Amino acid sequence: MKYSKYIKQRGSLARAMVYASFFSMCLAVGVAHAQPYPNKPIRIIVPFAAGSPTDILARIVAQKMTESLGTTVVDNRAGANGIIATEYVAKSAPDGYTIELGISGTHGSNAALYSKLPYDPVRHFEPITLAAQVPFALFASNAFPAKSVKEMVSMAKANPGKYNIGTTSAGIQLTAELLKIAAGINLTLVPYKTQATALTDLSSGNLDMLIYAVSAALGQMKAGQFQALAVTSGQRSKLVPDLPTFVELGFPELSVTAWFAFYAPAGTPKEIVNKLYDAISKALKAPDVQKTLFDIGVEVVGSTPEELGKVTQNEIDKWKRIVREAKIPPLDTN
């Protein structure tokens, strides 16, 4: 009897220890979950290689975010026109520790150009903020007779298909198609594999026109190697303030830039999105950040998460319409 009673007492004690251990474990888990965000490094996934404008922007912002939120690092995952990195973020945990610096391609034109994407640029993401933009311009060779957009349109209408325009990427091809549709003209598109070759042909007069990033062609334009007719941004570019916009010239649809924006995976809590928004916005407003970006031709924009959501959807809708009207065959991700 005494032995049996001892066994029961030991059993009760063992159960009590198990319960206490379980309770302690639950308490520890609860404390871990209660730790304020962030409590570990935040990763900014960049869909292009180190040294690209997207990478430079991400690293500048990451440095400032480290000052306000703690360690923030850049993770480059280049390939497949940004699809690899964007899919990775779409499938990441919605905990605020993995975000993407997407661009107008990954969250805009890709949805129009590809028959099927492994992610949905709207459903699979929480918008944080539109960060910056790089305006394009319509450049023309010095040998090209037109010295204004009005003259160019008049000449193109009188000579359908006679004049050509170079493209160096899918996004620029879409912008050229938009120009043709908006102006009601027929230009011959000439695709280039390298940007350097396109600029060389434009300088030599072998190419009539080229849509290209203002910042990348500014030096050669100022050196007189070719002329600029108009910028495609909605407002005049600070890089070339004397150059009119297509919007000013009567083409409201031609408001196109290469833009950069931050996104988190869908389902990321609103309070975390707001923290990220505050930290990134603060970084972008810093004078040293704005100057560094301006020096490489990147203009800071900024927006609320709601505004970025509208920009994303509008971009997708616009480019899908242009792809349909231009009858551009869809690309395959395989």
d(CA 172, CA 175): 5
**Sequence ranges of the domains in the chain:** 42-133+258-326, 135-231
pLDDT at residue 182, rounded to an integer: 95
How, if at all, do strands 226-231 and 299-300 pair?
unpaired
Estimate the crossing angle of helix 53-69 against helix 287-295, to 10 degrees.
170
Cα separation, 313 vs 107, in Å, equals 9
pLDDT of residue 34: 56
Q: Is 286 within 8 Å of 57 (Cβ atoms)?
A: no
What is the phi/psi pair of residue 72, to 5°? -130, 125
Q: What is the pLDDT of residue 243?
A: 96
Domains 42-133+258-326 and 135-231 share a fold: yes
Q: What pLDDT is stored for residue 55 in this prediction?
A: 95
pLDDT tens string, the chain, 334 residues long: the values are: 444 444 445 455 445 444 445 444 444 444 444 578 999 999 999 999 999 889 999 999 999 999 999 999 999 999 999 999 999 999 999 999 999 999 999 999 999 999 999 999 999 999 999 999 999 999 999 999 999 999 999 999 999 999 999 999 888 999 999 999 999 999 999 999 999 999 999 999 999 999 999 988 999 999 999 999 999 999 999 899 999 999 999 999 999 999 999 999 999 999 999 999 999 999 999 999 999 999 888 999 999 999 999 999 999 999 999 999 999 998 887 6
Q: What is the CATH number of domain 42-133+258-326?
A: 3.40.190.150
Q: Class of the 135-231 domain?
A: alpha beta
> What is the distance of C-alpha 236 from the center of its chain?
20
Element housing 260 (H / E): strand 257-265
Please answer whether residues 128 and 99 qualify as being in contact, where contact means their C-beta atoms are separated by less than 8 angstroms: yes
pLDDT at 170: 87
What Cα–Cα distance (Å) separates residue 182 from each residue in 171, 235, 258, 294, 315? 16, 18, 19, 30, 16
> What residues pair up with 76 in beta bridges, in sequence order?
46
Whether the CB-CB separation of 221 and 150 falls below 8 Å is answered with no
